[in-house]
Amino acid sequence: MNTISIPEILDLFENKYNISLLKIQRKKIIFEGTTTKKKSIVVVMPESKIYLKGHGWVDFTKKQLDLFSKYSIVIAIFRLNNGSTYYIDFNKLLPLLTQDCMHNNKKEGDHWKLDIWPNELKIKRSNGKLSIKPNNSNIIDSIV
């Protein structure tokens, strides 16, 4: 299977939700727009391969979270190379990204590591997890 492409996701937002998303300058996977209800929206679309243990993996940096806080709606879309795509209401994920489970290094600074399993998202260094379902873009309906 192939990873769903960013243009395919942009088409979904344009055609189904009438939301035109534009790439934020100097950001490869972060797009912004306005909903039909005039709410600001940001969508982040990281890609991950599936690792030997059977899960995908992404990072979120403190810098990204600071950027996301400027928007009314934040959606994370995890695109895995096995064809699975996970649509996440970031408001449900945010409480799990605590100071206690934060990582730090020179490259990314303060950040969180998330493992994407078939039915749950787990935060490393934490017991925090979020139930998820693959390929369920209808979650966007309840967010926008």
Report how many domains make up the chain: 1
| pLDDT at 1 (0 to 100) | 62
Note down the domain range covering 108: 6-143
For 79-134, write each residue's pLDDT tens digit.
999 999 999 999 999 999 999 999 999 999 999 999 999 999 999 999 999 999 99
Q: What percentage of the chain has pLDDT greater than the value 90?
A: 94
Report DSSP letters for 57-101, one per residue.
EEEEEHHHHHHHTTSSEEEEEEEETTS-EEEEEHHHHGGG--GGG
Could you tell me which residues are beta bridge partners of residue 31? 23, 43
In a domain, 27, yes or no: yes
- pLDDT number for residue 2: 84
DSSP conformation class of 52 = T
Over residues 26-44, mean pLDDT: 97
| pLDDT value of position 131 | 96
Query: Would you state the pLDDT for residue 52?
Result: 87
The CATH number of residue 50's host domain is 3.40.1350
Residue 1 inside a domain? The answer is no
Kindly report the average pLDDT of the chain as a whole number. 95
